[in-house]
Amino acid sequence: MPESWVNLAERIGSDLHVDLSGPGSRRAVLIRALRDAVREGWLAPGTRLPPYRSLAADLGLARNTVADAYAELVAEGWLTARQGSGTRVAERAAPPKRARKPKPAPVRPATPAHNLRQGTPETASFPRTAWLAAARRALSAAPDEAFGPGDPRGRIELRRALTDYLARARGVRVDPERIVVCSGFAHALRLLFDGSRGAGGGALRGPFAVESYGLRFHSEILEGSGVQTVPLDLDEQGARVEELIEEPRIRGVLLTPAHQFPTGGPLHPARRAAVIDWARTSGGLVLEDDYDGEFRYDRVPVGAVQGLDPERVVYLGSVSKSLSPAVRIGWMVLPMQLVDGVLAAKGKREAWASVLDQLTLADFIASGQYDRHIRRMRQRYRHRRDQLVTALAERAPHITATGIAAGLHAVLRLPPGTEASAVKAASWQGIALDGLAEFRHPRAAMPAGDGLVIGYSTPAEHAYGAAVEALLRALPPSEASSESPSR
């Protein structure tokens, strides 16, 4: 018996709720509710009510209770009852028209004219035609069992395609049995730390080191799983992994070695080797976020750290930057000791990444379309990066752009103490962007620097030039230009 609101839409053809709460007998409560519905106009004159037997069944009331309520309201003039016509709202029961109060104009936040936030590829460049062709091929070739519950590891077609691609393009040492498909990086982290209670997962229960600058919600996922995060300092060679030795409690480390997020730059080769040595000696684990691994512009791509030791590194990737965040597919390449625990956390039924999208992506990769899309977008993003760097050199030479050898964003280094005012000035220019401080770990000990994180991949092609112009107007002036000459 529902105690509050009961929907009668299926019975009377409109969306009406009857409040059955309040003091009194069930009969009295129903009479009051129907009277209020007529008085307030929720039941319009002439509306036919459901037969009392049906309404009694819907509301869980005795038939006599509903019949008596109808009879009382007919006697009061709220309802009419005629043989063959049913029970209806009386025409004279129309509520008096009430003066309508003018609705206040909605206050809507101004939509930024220019979106320079990091982390999103250009949406207009999604390869719709090639993706649709891949979907058609994949569906035509899919076996009947593909449309059943599925393997929690993910479709074998996708795991095989990823095995070939990751070995060829990223230097990952992998076979399909080590891959678990998920819906993205955040989902992968949750599965890892939930799955750490399973076989061989003890390495994921202790404190974890993270980079002093990074996506804050990654640290929040770890800490939400009861794992303390310890920030590592950064310099021009990447994370200072030697600090791991100074913290013997640390059980693992989360790194972005291909392109440190957001400051930019790869992890130095000596430090890549050092973190593997630390993991082997301490029994620790390295989580490798292969952020922007495909988008290098000025030199040969840096291979994955996982290739140095597949049993000490969890390799994590997705298509959210390379293809689209709308394709909710990511993957983990796991040490064998973690596979069972992660699968137990995921469950026997694949409920996170659509099998149809997995089959499509598998064909998209195997047919070479993924490589072609990456090459096309790499050229486009490189051109945008060059446009930004050239504009800064010509119009704001006192501002240095860093982290530009790879990725979808640049960090503009600002004079000390100017970040907050620059973010505010950008807002006045109609620009959505983030200051560097947004990505700083709350317990980071390294000195803070002022900067803006500029995502040059997000704007549409035709809007990018105007976005750069607006950005230049928001940047703080050089010290020389800001000084007024004395007269």
Confidence grade of residue 390 (pLDDT, cut at 50, 70, 90): very high
User: Tell me, what's the pLDDT at 339?
Assistant: 93
Torsion 45-48-53-57 (CA) sign: negative
Q: Is the pLDDT of residue 174 over 90?
A: yes
Confidence grade of residue 297 (pLDDT, cut at 50, 70, 90): confident
Confidence grade of residue 97 (pLDDT, cut at 50, 70, 90): low
Number of CB atoms found within 10 A of residue 235's CB: 11
d(CA 329, CA 322): 11
Strands 79-82 and 434-435: unpaired
Q: Is the pLDDT of residue 480 over 60?
A: no
Question: Where do we find the tokens 């560097």?
Answer: 436
User: Tell me, what's the pLDDT at 198?
Assistant: 46
Local structure of 159: helix, strand or coil: helix
CB 15 within 8 A of CB 7: yes
Number of CB atoms found within 10 A of residue 249's CB: 8
For residue 313, give both structure tokens: 């590194």
Confidence grade of residue 233 (pLDDT, cut at 50, 70, 90): very high
Question: Where do we find the tokens 């983030």?
Answer: 434
Local structure of 238: helix, strand or coil: strand
The CA-atom distances, in angstroms, between 18 and each of 28, 29, 59, 74, 159 are: 13, 10, 10, 18, 53
For residue 117, give both structure tokens: 């936030």
User: Tell me, what's the pLDDT at 203?
Assistant: 54
Q: Is the pLDDT of residue 409 over 90?
A: yes
User: Tell me, what's the pLDDT at 15?
Assistant: 43
- By residue count, the chain amounts to 487
Local structure of 119: helix, strand or coil: coil
Q: Is the pLDDT of residue 449 over 70?
A: yes
Q: What's phi and psi for 353, nearest 5 deg? A: -115, 125
Residue 355 CA to its chain's centroid (Å): 19
List the beta strands (DSSP E) in 375-462. Answer: 400-402, 409-413, 431-432, 434-435, 451-455
User: Tell me, what's the pLDDT at 350?
Assistant: 53
Confidence grade of residue 11 (pLDDT, cut at 50, 70, 90): very low
d(CA 450, CA 143): 55
- Per residue in 190-208, pLDDT tens? 899 875 554 444 457 789 9
Interaxial angle between packed helices 156-170 and 355-366, expressed in degrees from 0 to 180 and rounded to the nearest 10: 40
Confidence grade of residue 276 (pLDDT, cut at 50, 70, 90): very high
Helix, strand and coil content of the chain, in percent to the nearest 5, comes to 45, 15, 40
Residue range 103-128: mean pLDDT, rounded: 79
CB 403 within 8 A of CB 410: yes
Interaxial angle between packed helices 63-76 and 52-59, expressed in degrees from 0 to 180 and rounded to the nearest 10: 120
> Which of 239, 307, 295, 285 is closest to 444 using CA atoms?
239
Give the helix/strand (H/E) hosting 358: helix 355-366
User: Which amino acid is located at 213 in the chain?
Assistant: Y
> Which of 313, 251, 325 is closest to 288 using CA atoms?
313
- Per residue in 326-376, pLDDT tens? 999 999 999 999 999 899 888 865 557 899 999 999 999 999 999 999 999
| Contacts for 400 with CB less than 8 Å, ≥ 6 apart | 412, 413
User: Tell me, what's the pLDDT at 204?
Assistant: 76
pTM of the model: 0.76
Residue 135 CA to its chain's centroid (Å): 24
